[in-house]
Structure 1
Amino acid sequence: MQVELNSVWRVHNLDGLADGLYRVLQLYAKEHTVILFPLLESKALQRPIKLDFDFFNEAIKAGHSELSSYELPYYQLQSEDDISENYLVKRDEKYRLIIDLVSDPSFLLDLVKQPRSKAVSIHAKAHSTYVQNIYRALNLYWKYGQERNALLPSYKNSGGRGKSRVAGVRKRGSPIQLSSPSIKVPEGVNITEQDKSLFLKAMKEFGLKGEKVKFSRVYDKMLKEYYAEELISAESESREALVPNYRAFVYWVKKLVPAQILIRKQTNQGDFDRNKRGLKGSATDHTEVPGSCFELDATVLDVHIVSDFQRNHVLGRPTVYCVVDKESRMIVGLHVSMEYASWRAGRQALINSFTSKKDYCAEFGIEIEEADWPCNHIPQRLLCDRGEFICQDAENLAVPLIGHLSIAPPYRAELKGIVEHRFNILNEKLVHELLGTTKGRHYIRGDRDPRLDATFTLREVTKLLIDEVLEHNSSIFNDLAKQSTLLIESGLSPTPLNYWNLHVKAQRHALSRADEAHIRSRLLPRIKVTMTGKGIRLNDQMYYESDHADFDTWKVIARNNGSWQLDALVDHDNSSFIFVRLEEVSGFTRCYLMKESANFAHRHQADILYFEDWIKLEKNKAKPSAKSIKRHQRRNQIIETAKEEAALAPSLNSKSERTKGMKARRREAILAQRVEDGEYQHHQAKPDMESDISSEHLDDKKKKVISMLKRKRANDNEM
């Protein structure tokens, strides 16, 4: 390794030299000599040391001497313009004392050969000074790099800077300034070492307990705890209490308690890690390309929504899940539901992230191209919260699909800073402008209840969020330009969409894909449905059908031989379809909602649950009304009257006599009804009556037959 002038070397285990730092002052090639100067923090004067150059090189090769550095004082690193004129004058005076000596190439060589240099003595006499003054200037010059600023006056510790002074009798500090000269200002007391110890004790006892406490509160408790006797005595003697004032307390607390300790001890570990610790870098420092890490998180949306069936019924605030690519800031997945943050809702967000967005947007009436939201990929790693994914289902279902699942520690939201900031963006640009919004704050007395202004349904809020996500993915983020050179090389603006597309096109990503059927079979919740004669029944309200060739045959079998259960996968975002295992050895087939259940098409699971709850409540409210009770009483009265009239009728000799002549009596009743209704005139009714009466005397085979309307059979209605 090359040895250069002014270079600093750390020497250890070298014969003839003490361990420590040394600066190279001069190299003499002809004499094979190197001159070193020890860099010590001692005020004692030091002399340069002569060392054989070959010996020094061998020490370097053997590892006994290593290249190092020596930090210069801050006051020597200033520009000439920033140094005061007085300092420059003193520097130049010292430099004039030694300039002739340091300019002589042979001075150092002569100095190390002779214990006492005649040249220094002669030079001191010539400048009317003493030898030690010359050596002090030379020591500063050699120690700090052999340049003029090494001779600047060092006043960094002058005046006892940083050292506490012992309090005297005279009062220190500025007195309280009053505008009224007639008011006497108490003199106060100086702070003693005992007072300082009490200040520290009070802070440890009352102010450093893991929560923010005002200095005034600690000061008040300190006086009551440690200065109680003086305060009581001063009150009884009607004099000013000789206790430290509040300003002195705050001043000394800030001096005695380091600022970092004060910050750390006045908060808990979670809040310190989230909001107060020093930042170590950017959120994308540990991601290299799109797909390296997706962040998933949920929050309760700051807006109340209403039911899709009855808009005057408020459902509350929905939960929104966002999945964001950490590297590109691209929102790759979205899910909005009335579910609380859980694995049940989280897996729906994963399905949305891993599948086509064109089909997803089409379900809400938004037409886009695949290039508008080209995110249907699986990441290399997924970072999420403990609540949703620290469960057996996530371990068994999501991990085999994703590969690596990272669970953030509790109370460490800043570890998912990218997705957390997306929630802020969505709130500022959309949610806080909607009717029914809470604007992210608690209800304040006197404010209008935001629930009274709730207007949007879950489906409408989802449509608005989809449009805002598309807008976000096309917005400019300056930080993206610093992460990759592809954007500036291609001349494209730094948007998440451009960043994503460029890196995918250049094969600089960690994304992978899986078949949609495989994703849904892994993540969708599995339930039981029933095969019936109508179709596949779900929730006793919804029926589905399939294009399978044997589906009609299975309906016939179910109607005649009884229904059976099937495995199904349900997408809670859209009730228009489900995936059913129609045969025991087959995969899952997409089945579509039948026309009979068309009212449930494109409904979210929350709307289906609301409908079921509404049905239950309506059944529960179905109590007999006053009119219904009156009708029931009237029916009972008719029954009782009929029984009484029947009991007054004359008794018959036999049971056959009761039924004999039914047809004739029926004809008489019909004719009587016709006459009563005025259907026939009297002259029209007479011949008929005569013919009917005369026909009674005919033989039974010759009687006139009156044709009646045929009664419908029960099976006719079902054909």
Structure 2
Amino acid sequence: MLFKNDVFELDGERYRVLHPDSGSKSIWCISLDSEFAWPVRLPELEIVNLPSLAQGEVTHGTPSEARIRKCDASWARLAPLLRAHEHDLYDPRRRNRLIAEYAQEKKCSVGTLRKDLRRYWQRGQNKLALMPGYDKSGRRQGTDGDGLLPVTAGRGRKSKAGHKVYQLTSADAAHMKRVLEATYLVDKRITVVDAYTELINKHFRHADGNQTLFANHRGERPSLRQFLYFLKKNYNIEVRLRGREGNKDFERDHRKVIGTVLADCLGVGHFYEIDATIADVFLVAAEDRSKIVGKPTLYLIIDRKSRLIVGFYIGLEHASWAAALSAILTISEDKRALCARYGVEYDPDDWPAHQVFPVEFLADMGEMISEPSTNICEGLQGTVTNVPGLRPDWKPTVESGFRIEHCVLRPITPAYDPPWNATRRRGRHYEKDACLTVKEFGNLILNAIIMTNRREMKDYPLSLSELSGGVRPSPIELWNHGIVTRSGLLTRFSEETVRFALLRKERARVTERGIEFRGCFYSSQEAIAQKWFETARKHRFQVTVSFDTRLVDQIYVHALDGKSQPHIATLTTRSEAYSGLSFEEVKYYEDLRDKVRAEADEQRLQGRLDLRNRTALVVDNAKAELKALGNKKSRSARRADTKPARAKERQLERQESAQLQAAVPQPDAALESVARLEITSANRDQQDRLKAILARMSAR
């Protein structure tokens, strides 16, 4: 069923329904595909069951004031004619006469009335149908067969220098497109001028009589302004920035920011963001403040919803799993002992998230993507989400936390070295002011964390429930309010549980010399009581151990049955030399030891070869003399005379080795004192004489 203004298709042509003519059982329609169409009458039975392609009127977006004025003027001119003779205008025999009479009456053009009337019918039969199509004004914009971009057509600002305006062709557009996509849009270092120069160099040069190439004259080549217009017209700002900066840099620095990081955050404890940075402060050694130890590593763990700093690490470890473990451990660490270690006053109200672990850790693609980070999932019932590299905007809370802490510490910390100083020519040497040790700087960091957790945030987006509940926008109050109203329960873990869960786990071998692990040997009272080492003399076996890579002194040994609690094993006397070292240092020394063993094996082999070479002649001569005797005695017969032969051989040995020698005369006291004179390089003659005297004494 068709209604007024519905559009249908008949014989490949679109029509709009204008008005039914009940007397002749037909419908007045007008073609939409003809620029000079007028209403035609079509049989009702022929079109009534055709499907409708569109309903209603043509939309015009948001028209400008000029278009509205034009529309109002056209409507004021046409409306009286429609009110008086709308249905009569469908009939061509009456339409021409009525339009001519009305045009003479209103003193307007018949052509104008015919154009307005046709537009009124074709575009929906309402006032807005008379809206002028300024958006379609001007030269038609299209592409050629190769899909190239549009070209100019006699337009352009007249040159002040008097030369003609160059008119771009389809080939010029293709040249610009290729040059831009090969240079400007792929390399941030290339400027628009550089790309324009490349365009002229490749496509707009001519040779003189000497075949020397010159750029075409102005008016015979595209101008820089035309080139820049082409660039901005056909490549929007996102395309330009993505090509020149890269997708990651665009997403980080140039993308639209219309959302908030709290959009997918369910509440406090949902996301903990963790990251590390190098603190811009030079520190000194605790034992000797004259020695600078460099800049420390700072880890922060921040709850996304409340901005509460729940964990941290400050020390000389590089950004690694070992340092991240220490930061995560501070979530459950005894806060009184933590404050006492850094000399900070303890207040339990400053630590509302004590021992509370999140649903999800957000970290970058560094140490938190390593294999040991799976311990968080297995032992602490959490999830680790690694955001893409070079995308700090995915964890903005902790990134902003670093900036806040640096802003707090900058005016009060000696030897603070701002990042821009490193790139400044002849920058200042702030390390000369270094005087803080690691623990003293930790005191500053911990006090800054407590102050940050207490401080109210000016622009924090409080929810309606928080506003109505009178919640102050400080991290501690937001946490205390959120932990009560949060849907779902969070989990607490003790320090011992967290420490044990986060340690690396590997397999160690039990031998008769102890529990052998990474070049060290360990023992424990439990292992001795269960006779592990005696059993290992017959059959060696393996156990699971947990360890901290930073210190080899102790390891956790898991029970063989998997039910009992792990116990601590310590170094045996065989490995006491490694006490206080890390496993990496032990590996270094073990590699040196293996190198020494390999060299010793080579030396021992060479010694055996030399022995064979030196004794081969003696052995061969002995064999030859035995063979020359021609004695065919059996082995038993040869051994029968062993005792008398041994006695006779021993007698000859005694006569040879027990002979007394004549006594050697002792040198007199004078010669002995001369022999003890110090020989110096300055008196070569005296040195030679002393050597001669000593030689004569030896000869006597």
TM-score normalised to the size of structure 2?
Answer: 0.60
Q: Which residue in the other structure is 2:281 paired with?
A: 303
1:453 maps to 2:433: yes
1:322 maps to 2:306: no
**Contact 1:318-1:337 within 8 A present in 2 as well:** yes
Q: Which residue in the other structure is 2:188 paired with?
A: 211
Q: 2:61 aligns with which of 73, 84, 102?
A: 73
Q: Which residue in the other structure is 1:500 paired with?
A: 479
Q: 2:166 aligns with which of 182, 185, 190?
A: 190
CA-CA distance at 1:290 after TM superposition: 1.6
1:417 maps to 2:393: no
SS of match in other structure, 2:290: coil
**Contact 1:398-1:523 within 8 A present in 2 as well:** no
CA-CA distance at 1:70 after TM superposition: 6.5
**Partners in 1 of 2:363 and 2:483 — Cα distance?**
24
Q: 1:473 aligns with which of 453, 457, 460?
A: 453
Q: Which residue in the other structure is 1:690 paired with?
A: none
Deviations 1:88-121 (A, max 9, x none): 65333311233346668xx88x579x66595896
**Partners in 2 of 1:478 and 1:283 — Cα distance?**
17
Paired amino acid for 2:424: I
Q: Which residue in the other structure is 1:595 paired with?
A: none
**Partners in 1 of 2:95 and 2:246 — Cα distance?**
67
CA-CA distance at 1:324 after TM superposition: 1.8
Structure 1 pair 51–383 and aligned structure 2 pair: CA distance change class (3 A): farther
CA-CA distance at 1:202 after TM superposition: 2.4
CA-CA distance at 1:258 after TM superposition: 4.1
**Partners in 2 of 1:26 and 1:501 — Cα distance?**
70
When structure 1 is superposed on structure 2, of 242-251 and 208-217 the one drifting more is: 242-251
**Contact 1:212-1:267 within 8 A present in 2 as well:** no
Deviations 1:467-499 (A, max 9, x none): 2222323344455435x2222111233233222
CA-CA distance at 1:415 after TM superposition: 1.7
Paired amino acid for 2:429: D
1:405 maps to 2:384: yes
CA-CA distance at 1:388 after TM superposition: 0.7
Paired amino acid for 1:462: G
Q: Please, what is the CA RMSD of the aligned residues? A: 5.4
CA-CA distance at 1:288 after TM superposition: 2.4
SS of match in other structure, 2:417: coil
Q: Which residue in the other structure is 2:78 paired with?
A: 98
Q: Which residue in the other structure is 1:380 paired with?
A: 359
Q: 1:122 aligns with which of 98, 101, 120?
A: 98
**Partners in 2 of 1:69 and 1:458 — Cα distance?**
76
Paired amino acid for 2:72: D
CA-CA distance at 1:337 after TM superposition: 1.9
Deviations 1:323-349 (A, max 9, x none): 122223222221112111111111222
Deviations 1:593-633 (A, max 9, x none): xxxxxxxxxxx999xx9xxxxxxxxxxxxxxxxxxxxxxxx
Q: Which residue in the other structure is 2:239 paired with?
A: 261
**Contact 1:432-1:439 within 8 A present in 2 as well:** no
SS of match in other structure, 1:266: helix
**Partners in 2 of 1:43 and 1:173 — Cα distance?**
34
Unaligned runs of 5+ in 1: 177-184, 529-549, 555-565, 592-603, 610-643, 649-719
Paired amino acid for 2:385: S
**Partners in 2 of 1:240 and 1:190 — Cα distance?**
10
Deviations 1:201-258 (A, max 9, x none): 3223332324341122223344444445448969799996865454444344333544
CA-CA distance at 1:374 after TM superposition: 0.9
Structure 1 pair 186–144 and aligned structure 2 pair: CA distance change class (3 A): closer
**Partners in 1 of 2:326 and 2:31 — Cα distance?**
67
Structure 1 pair 95–451 and aligned structure 2 pair: CA distance change class (3 A): same
Structure 1 pair 92–452 and aligned structure 2 pair: CA distance change class (3 A): same
When structure 1 is superposed on structure 2, of 119-128 and 271-280 the one drifting more is: 119-128
CA-CA distance at 1:404 after TM superposition: 1.9
CA-CA distance at 1:424 after TM superposition: 2.0
**Contact 2:372-2:504 within 8 A present in 1 as well:** no
CA-CA distance at 1:306 after TM superposition: 1.5
Unaligned runs of 5+ in 2: 143-149, 508-524, 530-543, 571-579, 586-668, 674-700
SS of match in other structure, 1:74: coil
**Contact 1:188-1:245 within 8 A present in 2 as well:** no
CA-CA distance at 1:389 after TM superposition: 2.0
**Partners in 2 of 1:42 and 1:463 — Cα distance?**
84
Q: Which residue in the other structure is 2:252 paired with?
A: 274
Q: 2:424 aligns with which of 438, 444, 453?
A: 444
1:357-396 equivalent positions in 2, closer than 5 A: 357-376=335-354, 377-396=356-375
CA-CA distance at 1:36 after TM superposition: 12
Structure 1 pair 389–165 and aligned structure 2 pair: CA distance change class (3 A): closer
CA-CA distance at 1:354 after TM superposition: 4.3
Structure 1 pair 195–443 and aligned structure 2 pair: CA distance change class (3 A): same
Aligned residue pair count: 523
CA-CA distance at 1:580 after TM superposition: 7.8
Q: 1:349 aligns with which of 321, 327, 341?
A: 327
**Partners in 1 of 2:130 and 2:164 — Cα distance?**
45
Q: 2:309 aligns with which of 304, 310, 331?
A: 331
Structure 1 pair 142–358 and aligned structure 2 pair: CA distance change class (3 A): farther
Q: Which residue in the other structure is 1:518 paired with?
A: 497
SS of match in other structure, 1:436: coil
**Partners in 2 of 1:327 and 1:460 — Cα distance?**
31
Paired amino acid for 2:275: D
CA-CA distance at 1:291 after TM superposition: 1.9
Q: 2:138 aligns with which of 139, 159, 162?
A: 159
**Contact 2:205-2:214 within 8 A present in 1 as well:** no
**Partners in 1 of 2:31 and 2:549 — Cα distance?**
75
1:173 maps to 2:157: yes
**Partners in 2 of 1:19 and 1:457 — Cα distance?**
87
SS of match in other structure, 2:390: coil
Deviations 1:379-407 (A, max 9, x none): 11111122212222111444441432211
Structure 1 pair 475–458 and aligned structure 2 pair: CA distance change class (3 A): same
Structure 1 pair 521–203 and aligned structure 2 pair: CA distance change class (3 A): same
SS of match in other structure, 1:294: strand
**Partners in 1 of 2:251 and 2:460 — Cα distance?**
26
Paired amino acid for 1:277: R
**Partners in 1 of 2:477 and 2:43 — Cα distance?**
63
Deviations 1:396-440 (A, max 9, x none): 444441432211223322222222222222223324763222312
**Contact 2:13-2:33 within 8 A present in 1 as well:** no
Structure 1 pair 382–146 and aligned structure 2 pair: CA distance change class (3 A): farther
**Partners in 2 of 1:347 and 1:39 — Cα distance?**
76
Paired amino acid for 1:93: A
**Partners in 1 of 2:15 and 2:346 — Cα distance?**
69
SS of match in other structure, 1:312: coil
